[in-house]
A and B are shown apart, each in its own frame.
Chain A
């Protein structure tokens, strides 16, 4: 594995990752192996977040470095080089613009090899249903930071049922005011107490 590239992603070296990936490709390294190195860098960053060594700016840096590296690498990859662990749609419910928790979950899932479709914040009930129809994820993750907005999660689950989609997607909820009891009450499949749990929870759902 190209440790320099893994470290560049882990440390959020957005500024040099393109040069490094270009250099590695020029010297004949296989795109697939470079992708694995970048994924390893993301995972290492996520691990350091879990240990309390890294914080939001570091995660954002690693995410940006990964994206920049992929900008170079993507055209070189062949079908089958990128093996996704599964697809997850993530969004923050209507009335809530809190991005951070959702982004942390998205980062942790991406670093574990999941394809993450982030549909943003303040997403309407219809927006969640449309996203499930369009992207056909295995898991839908909903986030809320407010005790008032979390009530929208139940609306989404009801709307998924009405649209005949509930059996096709597992629903994971999280955020400060959400609890296991609330997840059970509204018929969600799982509840995550923090971003670090997300990967294992999603793996458990699949």
Chain B
């Protein structure tokens, strides 16, 4: 993508002076700062199952071939009628670099690559993992795909999204062990006396948690630096720690035992990387606004991990307060249609849901971005496009 700030400036000028209809990317950019002509739509291409686009593509091929990812990205861009189609690689969590540090992934044709073995089994393993001098393996592949996608599709929004310290630690230690490490460390740190601390030591190593988090903080910083060194811009980039939230941990534990590492990484990256926190309610969004790290970046206001109804719609009673909060803080609201709902809902149900959220946003005059979390097996690209058509119909300001 050309310089995003220049593009943003041009888009705002075009919109303000009514110099023609906004392109999808322009609309999306304008919606980050002011009301465009209508609510914008967004889809991460990687969230479309490859076989729904073309049965020639599977995860084995996509994990081996940069060209296959780029070709599939091109096909998704042709088929999907969203304002912005981003994220051009289908590598599952291998895209954030853990395989390069020893996490073993299983790669099967019809299943997104998934981790089956983790490199940090004991304390000594931590010392064996070092921040890399250069990008290699799947991490290099991701950087190369991003660069080439940018070259082939100059209007594509290429954003660097990599794991922060906690999510990377989950991939290096495993999601069974890391929460236990945190608990033992927390209990030890908060113990009232030495006798209790001595007892805790008999049941586990209270120091392994901070050692892992120090390591993954360094790794996370280095990965973002490598992205820059490989020619990618960090503008609009995000440090993702989506598992450092409820119900994995309390907000209190997050601020005591995860947030300091994220702040360290954010500071080391000269505050260029967004470091949002996934919220489970509008109240949490509002609380985040008083934090200088959490109050900015893409998707600060989003229903992504709000509680859902059994049908897969996030709690409707949260929508209006969320939209009003986004407006209060002059930010856009990212409304996510979950893949489960896309798959199971009838057209009439989708129509009612999109109409409701769009009319709420246009009535409140709040910037709204509508995205689909995934286009899973059992759904279709046409159904995703139907959602985007509904936004065009109901989302005009």
Chain B residue nearest in CB terms to A197 = B310
Given contacts A52-B246, A99-B175, A148-B112, contact A15 B376 (CB under 8 A): no
B window 335-372: CB within 8 A of A = 339-340, 343-344
Out of A58, A96, A151, A177, which one reaches B114, CB within 8 Å?
A96
> Of A29-37, A126-134, A165-173, A178-186, which stretch is located at the interface?
A178-186
Distance between A31 CB and nearest chain B CB, rounded to angstroms? 23
- With contacts A16-B199, A177-B340, A179-B310 taken as known, whether A147 is within 8 angstroms of B376 at the C-beta atoms is yes
Chain A CB within 8 A of B49 CB: yes
Stretch binding the partner chain, chosen from B25-33, B79-87, B248-256, B289-297? B248-256
Do the beta carbons of B111 and A95 come within 8 Å of each other?
Answer: yes
Q: Which of A147-200 contact B (CB under 8 A)?
A: 147-149, 151, 176-182, 191, 193
Q: Which residues of chain A have C-beta atoms less than 8 A from B202's C-beta?
A: 15
Query: 1/0 per position for B156-185, CB-CB distance to A under 8 A?
Result: 000000000000000000011001101100
Task: Say yes or no for B130: interface residue by CB 8 A criterion.
Answer: no
Interface contact A176-B340, CB-CB below 8 Å? yes
B249 x A97 contact (CB < 8 A): no
Q: Are A179 and B312 in contact (CB under 8 A)?
A: yes
Q: How far apart are the CA atoms of A15 and B311 in the complex, in Å?
A: 42
- Enumerate A18-57 residues with CB–CB distance to B below 8 Å: 49, 52, 55-57
Are the C-beta atoms of B246 and A148 separated by less than 8 Å? no
How many Å lie between the Cα of A181 and that of B309 in the bound state?
A: 13
- Asked whether any CB of chain B lies closer than 8 Å to the CB of A146, the reply is yes
> What is the bound-complex CA distance between A95 and B179, given in angstroms?
22
A177 contacts B339, C-beta separation under 8 Å: yes
- Scan residues 165-220 of chain B and give those whose CB is less than 8 A from a CB of chain A: 175-176, 179-180, 182-183, 186-187, 196, 199-200, 202-203
Picked from A12, A96, A148, A179, the residue with its CB within 8 Å of the CB of B49 is A148
Query: CA separation between A96 and B113, bound complex, in Å?
Result: 10
Q: How far is the CA of A58 from the CA of B202 in the complex (A)?
A: 19
Q: State whether the Cβ of B119 lies closer than 8 Å to any Cβ in chain A.
A: no
Q: Tell me whether B110 and A148 are in contact (CB under 8 A).
A: yes
Q: How many A-B residue pairs have CB under 8 A?
A: 91
Contact of A122 among B116, B180, B308, B311 (CB under 8 A): B116
Give the most central of B114, B187, B253, B374: most A CB within 10 Å: B114
- The secondary structure that dominates the A interface is loop
A61 vs B190: C-alpha distance in the bound complex, in angstroms?
15
Tell whether, in the assembled complex, residue A182 and residue B344 are in contact, meaning their CB atoms are under 8 Å apart. yes
Overall SS of chain B's interface:
mixed
Cross-chain contact A97 with B114 (CB below 8 angstroms): yes
Query: C-beta contact mask, A2-21 vs B, less than 8 Å → 1, else 0?
Result: 00000000001011100000
Question: Does B179 lie within 8 Å of A60, measured CB to CB?
Answer: yes
A180/B310 in contact, CB under 8 A: yes
Residues in B with CB closer than 8 Å to A193 are: 308-310
Which A residues lie within 8 Å of B374 (CB)? Answer: 147
Known: A179-B310, A179-B340. A56 touches B376 (CB 8 A): no
The answer to whether B340 and A57 have CB atoms under 8 Å apart is no
Residues of A within 8 A of B183 (CB): 12, 57-58, 60-61
What residues on B are CB-neighbors of A103 within 8 Å?
176
Docked CA distance A159–B317 (Å):
42
**Cβ-defined contact, A57 with B310, below 8 A:** no
How far is B373's CA from A146's CA once the two chains are assembled, in angstroms?
A: 12
Q: Is the CB of A15 within 8 A of B200?
A: yes
Q: Are B311 and A179 in contact (CB under 8 A)?
A: yes
Q: Taking the complex as formed, is A100 at the interface, i.e. its CB lies under 8 A from any CB of chain B?
A: yes
Q: Is the CB of B175 within 8 A of A100?
A: yes
Instruction: Please give, as numbers and ranges, the residues of chain A lying within 8 Å of B71 by CB-CB distance.
Output: none
| Chain B residues, CB < 8 A from A99 | 175-176
* A108 contacts chain B at the CB level, 8 A cutoff: no
In the complex, B20 has a CB within 8 A of chain A: no
B344 to chain A, nearest CB (A): 5
Which residue of A is nearest B379, CB measured?
A147
Most buried by A among B310, B344, B376: B310
Known: A57-B253, A177-B340, A191-B310. A149 touches B111 (CB 8 A): yes
B228 interfacial by beta-carbon distance below 8 Å: no
Query: In the bound complex, do residue A57 and residue B246 qualify as a contact, i.e. CB atoms below 8 Å apart?
Result: no
Contacts known (A99-B175, A100-B175, A180-B310); A55 close to B376, Cβ less than 8 A: no
Q: Please tell me if the beta carbons of B186 and A147 are within 8 angstroms of each other in the complex.
A: no
Identity of the chain B residue whose Cβ is nearest the Cβ of A57 in the assembled complex: B183
A88 on the interface (CB 8 Å rule)? no
Cβ-based interface call for B236 (8 A): no
Q: Which residues of A contact B54 (CB under 8 A)?
A: none
A-B pairs with lowest CB-CB distance, top 4? A147-B376, A57-B183, A95-B111, A15-B199
A-B contact pairs, 11 of them (CB 8 A): A15-B200, A56-B247, A56-B248, A100-B175, A147-B49, A147-B376, A148-B112, A151-B377, A177-B343, A179-B312, A180-B311
- Which B residues fall within an 8 A CB radius of A? 49, 106, 108, 110-112, 114-116, 175-176, 179-180, 182-183, 186-187, 196, 199-200, 202-203, 246-250, 253, 308-312, 339-340, 343-344, 374, 376-378
